[in-house]
Structure formats: structure tokens, C-alpha cells
Amino acid sequence: MSTNAATEWPLWEVFVRSKQGLEHRHCGSLHASDASHAMQMARDVYTRRQEGVSLWVVASAQIHASEPHDKAALFEPASDKIFRHPSFYEIPDDVGHM
């Protein structure tokens, strides 16, 4: 019972939607004993300055992350393919903000 995993609350990632219509954004993490507890703590830790209108919490253990040593294989091949950026296209005025 002396390992951290047994005595520490699990880690949760917190996502905040700053206003209606915008996406939830990752803003940090916290320790909590379960999802509803994490939600309460997220409210107290991450929305004290009117940062949000909606909260998500996700157990960090549920997130599968890419490995740092895969970085070159995963991301570098995109670096010389500038034609994939939409800046080569003209956006009609009436489309508005994209």
C-alpha cells in the first residue's frame, strides 16, 4: 500500500470551453478520486476567473499519447508539404470567418 498508485488519487485532464460555440480546450490536470470529484475540483481550480461555460474531465489513464521517439517519423514528413496549407486558396468573402 505504499506505492503512489495505491495512495494517490488518479490524475484527470481538464478541458474548458471558454464560450458557447468554441471548442473545449485542454487547460491542465488535477488529482481527484472520481469523475464527479474531478468535475468539482476543475470548477474550483480552473474556472475561478470566469474562464469557462462548460467543463470536461477525462481520466489521464484513458489518453493514449504518441511517443516522443516517434516524433520524426510521425511529424517531420509533413514539413516540406506546404501545399497542404489552405493559404493557396482564395476564400470568398461571404464565407466569413473560418
Partner 1 sequence: MLAPQLPLVLHLADNALVLGQRNAEWCGHAPVLEEDIALANHSLDLIGQARLLYQHAAQLMGEGHTEDSLAYLRDAPAFRNFTLLELPHHGPLAANSESDRDFATTLVRNFLYSAWALGMWTRLTQGNDPQLAAIAAKAIKETRYHWQHASDWVVRLGDGTSESQRRAQAAVNHLMPYTQEFWAPLAHEQAALHIGVSLQETQFLSEWNLLIAAVLEQANLTRPSDGGFLSSGNHGIHSEHMTYLLSEMQSLARAHPHAVW
Would you say 26 or 31 has its CB closer to partner 1?
Answer: 31
Contact between 41 and partner 1 per CB under 8 A: yes
Cell 470566469, residue?
A: 50
Which of 10, 22, 35, 36 forms a contact with partner 1 (CB under 8 A)?
36
Contact between 33 and partner 1 per CB under 8 A: yes
Which of 16, 32, 55, 57 forms a contact with partner 1 (CB under 8 A)?
32
28-48 residues labelled b (16+ CB within 10 A) or e (exposed): ebbebeeeeebeebbeeebbe
What's the first-to-final CA gap in the chain, in angstroms? Answer: 53
Would you say 9 or 75 has its CB closer to partner 1?
Answer: 9
Contact between 48 and partner 1 per CB under 8 A: yes
Contact between 9 and partner 1 per CB under 8 A: yes
Contact between 44 and partner 1 per CB under 8 A: yes
Contact between 17 and partner 1 per CB under 8 A: no
**Whether 11 contacts 60, CB under 8 Å:** yes
Q: Within 10 Å of residue 16's Cβ, how many Cβ atoms?
A: 20
